[in-house]
A and B are shown apart, each in its own frame.
Chain A
């Protein structure tokens, strides 16, 4: 199965076409095709996982490659590279996608574009799967762009409202800005690796020093631009909160669990250039870790001032993505991937739960919720489980993965990142507590009649709660299965990716910090401590205003765009009107002048002159010759005598 893992992306792709063409005529409007295809894909992914785990160590990656054409010595084709990382991603993507498909049958019931929604979900899943199995950067980029397209389509699913289409465009353009870097990075590394797109070859070349350090730095930095765009790192994170305008299943699938982690996946997969280029083994600080750290803090801060529950979760996602990137930046490769794994489960759970809440109260805003604990028990319990997992409380999933990141940061010589990670953990716990309080505690503040969600929505919540609780245990000390299954393997080369022993002290510290966060938030909300503090201390008020305005980043970007776009547009317009139109008009005028020239000079003067001249010369000649016939006899006589004399002379002297 491992060598035939290309089937896994293929099945949802086929489902896409089937749903697109036949979906509307089917009894369940195409959702059954989507769910069926995803089920098959999930089963196949599990089989792949089983086969991978059952392999003899050291496990070698499975390859299959089909060359489409070769050009100039470079091989262009489609291929798969299946190793632990791939298998993990396959399982996660297909599982979450399946859950979302089932959930959507309830959530999107009666929607105006129900069938197209499922078609887009299938296409997205197929593209994401294509991305994770690819063995060359070109194919990876194809998957990357496709998921970007699907994200655009799905965010703007209800495009009749301007907010939604605007959000879709913002997402697309922001990620596009990063994609420039991605493309340039791929090109740079292509040339650096000797005109080769193959990822394994690239990693090998980078780690064995075949490629120069400077080249690797440039290539990795450019690739990281793409990561910043797709995985919502500061400052290209601005699209993700606005992308919450899309339907909640979309947010769960794409903007929590799968698409946004594509950037993290890219760094993990093409780790060689990153590791060597950014000198990750040197410790201290590097761009990847720094950006990740900044993202952690600022996103977490923004989550405190949101009223929309989905936006809280969106900022939370950005913050957790920051954790993953930071992990990869400090050399804790396994930790970063593990956090991706666990985060997918509990964040999808949280999003689907929020969807359930929104469906019940017909509003996104937490100010219109409250006291829903009793009214929606399943949602309440699963949401709490997800929140606790996210906060990193023992023994739920988030605890283990977050702790590993902190461990990696401290042991690999990145003390700053350790501190940031701890602060982030505190803030995460705090804002999730705030969210839970606003939604579930107190009295209901809205106007709808909330009730529990239908089974199609409730069951995915229940199912997802299980891995949210248990998934972390895969990497618990003593078990450590995850790290064994998912290793960074480049045959023959062992990079600096230490597997550190579990540190109880650090684990305890992170747990304490998380509990402190919960405690602080609880004090604020349940007991009213520090209430109104921002009104009393002006600097806090300013900070609050900055947060509410999202650090004025949106305004900054808009100003930059306006500042660049408007002059460029004006210049382009000028060029068009004056240069291009000038050339065209000039040619027209030139042709016209030429025509006039031809007419005036050539036709009127030359040709008509010739014609007229012929006539005139005949006339003049005639007038001159007419004088010969003057009617005067003496003139004739003169001519006669003259001619006779000449003739005589001629006759006499020439004969």
Chain B
């Protein structure tokens, strides 16, 4: 049973990974801003699926709600408000794209090497299915201070965004 689960998990992971990478790639290379936002939504959705695969259902659900539901919409609003042309238009990549590619590849290489070196044979074994109550216990228990700080941060962000964007 466990072995079949393993195989099924690997297949799922493989599909998800390919989808996400492809979407991310298209996100950074497309010339259409709206399509970029949609590709972002795909990546975010794939991430949520991954969380479920890793037995983090609450986080997956929050991801979908907040990221896909709010952030992508917000980004689309931004696209709209800044009159970015919808549809194909002039080059959206600036002149240093090759340097950027180089840096990104270099970074990837470094990261890859480090990861391979450090976590070569580690396996994720059996993951305990936890209830969301345990997550909330952790937040409001051990990490209540970061929680409060995060809420203050949200407030600040809210006030700040309003202050900035307000037509005056």
Answer whether A and B touch in the complex at a CB cut-off of 8 Å: yes
Which residues of A are interface residues toward B (Cβ below 8 A)? 632, 634-635, 638, 641-642, 644-646, 648-649, 652-653
Q: Please tell me if the beta carbons of B107 and A645 are within 8 angstroms of each other in the complex.
A: yes
B96 on the interface (CB 8 Å rule)? yes
Q: 1/0 contact trace for B92-128 toward A, CB 8 Å?
A: 0010100110011011001001100000000000000
Which residues of B are interface residues toward A (Cβ below 8 A)? 94, 96, 99-100, 103-104, 106-107, 110, 113-114
- Bound state CA distance, A399 and B98, in angstroms? 138
A635-B96, A652-B110 given; 13 more Cβ-contact pairs under 8 Å = A634-B96, A638-B96, A638-B99, A641-B104, A642-B99, A644-B107, A645-B107, A646-B106, A648-B114, A649-B110, A652-B113, A652-B114, A653-B113
* Residue of chain A at shortest CB distance from B108: A645
* Residue of chain B at shortest CB distance from A646: B106
Q: Please tell me if the beta carbons of B110 and A634 are within 8 angstroms of each other in the complex.
A: no
Taking the nearest CB of chain A, how far is it from the CB of B28, in angstroms?
13
Taking the nearest CB of chain B, how far is it from the CB of A635, in angstroms?
6
- Bound state CA distance, A644 and B114, in angstroms? 14
Given contacts A634-B94, A634-B96, contact A641 B114 (CB under 8 A): no
Q: Please tell me if the beta carbons of A641 and B94 are within 8 angstroms of each other in the complex.
A: no
Given contacts A648-B110, A652-B114, contact A641 B103 (CB under 8 A): yes
Q: Please tell me if the beta carbons of A642 and B103 are within 8 angstroms of each other in the complex.
A: yes
Taking the nearest CB of chain A, how far is it from the CB of B66, in angstroms?
25
- Bound state CA distance, A653 and B110, in angstroms? 10
- Bound state CA distance, A632 and B95, in angstroms? 11
- Bound state CA distance, A653 and B111, in angstroms? 12
Please name all residues of chain B whose beta carbon is closer than 8 Å to the beta carbon of A648 when the two chains form the complex.
110, 114
Q: Please tell me if the beta carbons of B96 and A642 are within 8 angstroms of each other in the complex.
A: no
User: Which of B99, B100, B106 contacts A645, CB < 8 Å?
Assistant: B106
Taking the nearest CB of chain A, how far is it from the CB of B108, in angstroms?
9
- Bound state CA distance, A499 and B79, in angstroms? 156
Chain A interface mostly: helix
Please name all residues of chain B whose beta carbon is closer than 8 Å to the beta carbon of A653 when the two chains form the complex.
113
Q: Which of A632, A644, A649, A653 has the most CB of B within 10 A?
A: A649
* Residue of chain B at shortest CB distance from A644: B107
Q: Please tell me if the beta carbons of A641 and B107 are within 8 angstroms of each other in the complex.
A: yes
Pull 15 A–B residue pairs with CB atoms less than 8 Å apart, ordered by A.
A634-B94, A634-B96, A635-B96, A638-B96, A638-B99, A638-B103, A641-B104, A642-B99, A642-B106, A645-B103, A645-B110, A648-B110, A649-B110, A652-B110, A652-B114
- Bound state CA distance, A634 and B95, in angstroms? 10
- Bound state CA distance, A635 and B99, in angstroms? 10
Taking the nearest CB of chain B, how far is it from the CB of A56, in angstroms?
133
- Bound state CA distance, A641 and B96, in angstroms? 13
Please name all residues of chain A whose beta carbon is closer than 8 Å to the beta carbon of B94 when the two chains form the complex.
632, 634
Taking the nearest CB of chain B, how far is it from the CB of A640, in angstroms?
9
Taking the nearest CB of chain B, how far is it from the CB of A636, in angstroms?
11
- Bound state CA distance, A367 and B104, in angstroms? 137
Please name all residues of chain A whose beta carbon is closer than 8 Å to the beta carbon of B99 when the two chains form the complex.
638, 642
Please name all residues of chain A whose beta carbon is closer than 8 Å to the beta carbon of B103 when the two chains form the complex.
638, 641-642, 645
- Bound state CA distance, A652 and B114, in angstroms? 8
Taking the nearest CB of chain B, how far is it from the CB of A432, in angstroms?
131
- Bound state CA distance, A71 and B96, in angstroms? 98
Taking the nearest CB of chain A, how far is it from the CB of B107, in angstroms?
4
Taking the nearest CB of chain B, how far is it from the CB of A647, in angstroms?
10
Q: Please tell me if the beta carbons of B100 and A638 are within 8 angstroms of each other in the complex.
A: yes
Taking the nearest CB of chain A, how far is it from the CB of B100, in angstroms?
6
Please name all residues of chain B whose beta carbon is closer than 8 Å to the beta carbon of A641 when the two chains form the complex.
103-104, 107
Please name all residues of chain B whose beta carbon is closer than 8 Å to the beta carbon of A635 when the two chains form the complex.
96
Please name all residues of chain A whose beta carbon is closer than 8 Å to the beta carbon of B106 when the two chains form the complex.
642, 645-646
- Bound state CA distance, A653 and B104, in angstroms? 19
Taking the nearest CB of chain B, how far is it from the CB of A151, in angstroms?
110
- Bound state CA distance, A649 and B106, in angstroms? 10
* Residue of chain A at shortest CB distance from B106: A645
- Bound state CA distance, A638 and B106, in angstroms? 12
* Residue of chain B at shortest CB distance from A639: B103
Taking the nearest CB of chain A, how far is it from the CB of B14, in angstroms?
28
- Bound state CA distance, A645 and B106, in angstroms? 7
Please name all residues of chain A whose beta carbon is closer than 8 Å to the beta carbon of B104 when the two chains form the complex.
641
- Bound state CA distance, A648 and B113, in angstroms? 11
Q: Which 5 A-B pairs have the closest CB atoms?
A: A645-B107, A642-B103, A649-B110, A641-B103, A645-B106
* Residue of chain A at shortest CB distance from B107: A645
Please name all residues of chain B whose beta carbon is closer than 8 Å to the beta carbon of A634 when the two chains form the complex.
94, 96, 100
Taking the nearest CB of chain B, how far is it from the CB of A645, in angstroms?
4
Please name all residues of chain B whose beta carbon is closer than 8 Å to the beta carbon of A646 when the two chains form the complex.
106
- Bound state CA distance, A641 and B99, in angstroms? 11
- Bound state CA distance, A641 and B107, in angstroms? 8
* Residue of chain A at shortest CB distance from B104: A641
* Residue of chain A at shortest CB distance from B118: A652
- Bound state CA distance, A642 and B99, in angstroms? 9
- Bound state CA distance, A641 and B100, in angstroms? 9
Please name all residues of chain A whose beta carbon is closer than 8 Å to the beta carbon of B114 when the two chains form the complex.
648, 652
* Residue of chain A at shortest CB distance from B117: A652
* Residue of chain B at shortest CB distance from A640: B103
Taking the nearest CB of chain A, how far is it from the CB of B147, in angstroms?
30
Taking the nearest CB of chain B, how far is it from the CB of A277, in angstroms?
111
Please name all residues of chain B whose beta carbon is closer than 8 Å to the beta carbon of A638 when the two chains form the complex.
96, 99-100, 103
Please name all residues of chain B whose beta carbon is closer than 8 Å to the beta carbon of A649 when the two chains form the complex.
110
Taking the nearest CB of chain A, how far is it from the CB of B35, in angstroms?
21
- Bound state CA distance, A645 and B94, in angstroms? 22
